Amino acid sequence: MKPNAYNQAKRYKLVSYDEDLKNVYSIVKDCRKGIPIYIDNAIRKDIWYIFVKAIGDVSCTVIVESELPATWPVPTNCNLEYWPGPWYRDFIKSALPLPTQRKKTVDINYDFFLLYGTYEYQREVIVQRLEQLNILNNSLYSRPDRSIEGTRKITKDQRINNNQNVLRMQEYSYQCQCWIVIENFALDENYSGTIDMKIVQAIYSGVPWIYIGNTEAYHTLARWGFKNHEEPRFTEQSVMEQLSYLKMLFSQPKLAQEWQASQHNIIIQNQKNLVNILTKSL
């Protein structure tokens, strides 16, 4: 349920130490005035600790987009609420049809499907490593300067996760064995865990996915009832080993077919869970 204070809340970010540290003191001032606060995106651990110390015992209402690890402190007189962010609202507004699975007659010609639209350091490091190891050499993937279709110039509107874009990406992903979903701050344990549109699109598509996120992101997925298609990996080396193994498996038609069949029940379970989440009352 959407927190009652959400519509009146003032929005802030606590993502970048260099850019957002100043927001801590603005948040404290607003809290002293009784203004509710909404912190969107992931939250950086060291900035959150500074906020907790700065706010002291001031009474405040703070709504976070990203669920906080259980080990992180919460201010003494803080009414802390969780609201999952724009992907939830965007998906509901888009009025997409119920999710389906790809037909068995669809030709699967590629290994992986990866959407990487906006530059983020950790994702860039991972994608570069995937490219260096040739893991993506038979895959469909985008980059900040290149769309799935190969277009060099991509407008902001084309990046927005609207109805048309979700369905178009679903059709492309049908040609691939598996999605690779790289979360923002993917393997960085200094951030809270965030579920956003990337993983939701993968679940909606009905194609298996490998999720690359930090520990708390996986915990958030689990709390929302989503099941992973492969065991979570939390280091760059283990992620590359996992994807290299899958690439080898996909090169052998019989093994690839058996792997796809083994993922069917997980796909159905995750899609049912997604529909349940999105149809809850706001």
Which residue segments constitute the domains of the chain, with CATH numbers given? 6-83 (no CATH), 91-278 (3.40.50)
Backbone conformation region of residue 196, classed left if phi is above 0, alpha if psi is from -120 to 50, else beta: beta
pLDDT of residue 152: 55
For the chain, how far is it from start to end, CA to CA, in angstroms?
Answer: 5
Per-position pLDDT tens, the chain of length 282 = 567 778 889 999 999 999 999 999 999 999 999 999 999 889 999 999 999 999 999 999 999 988 898 899 999 999 999 887 666 666 656 667 778 778 776 789 999 999 998 888 999 999 999 999 999 999 999 998 888 877 655 555 555 555 667 888 889 999 999 999 999 889 999 999 888 888 989 999 999 999 999 999 999 899 889 999 999 999 999 999 999 999 999 999 999 999 999 999 999 999 999 888 877 744
pLDDT of residue 277: 81
pLDDT of residue 93: 61
CA atoms within 13 A on the CB side of 249: 15
pLDDT of residue 94: 63
CA distance 174 to 149: 15
pLDDT of residue 281: 45
Rg of the chain (C-alpha set): 20
Q: Any idea what DSSP says for residue 81? A: E
pLDDT of residue 92: 59
Q: Any idea what DSSP says for residue 8? A: G
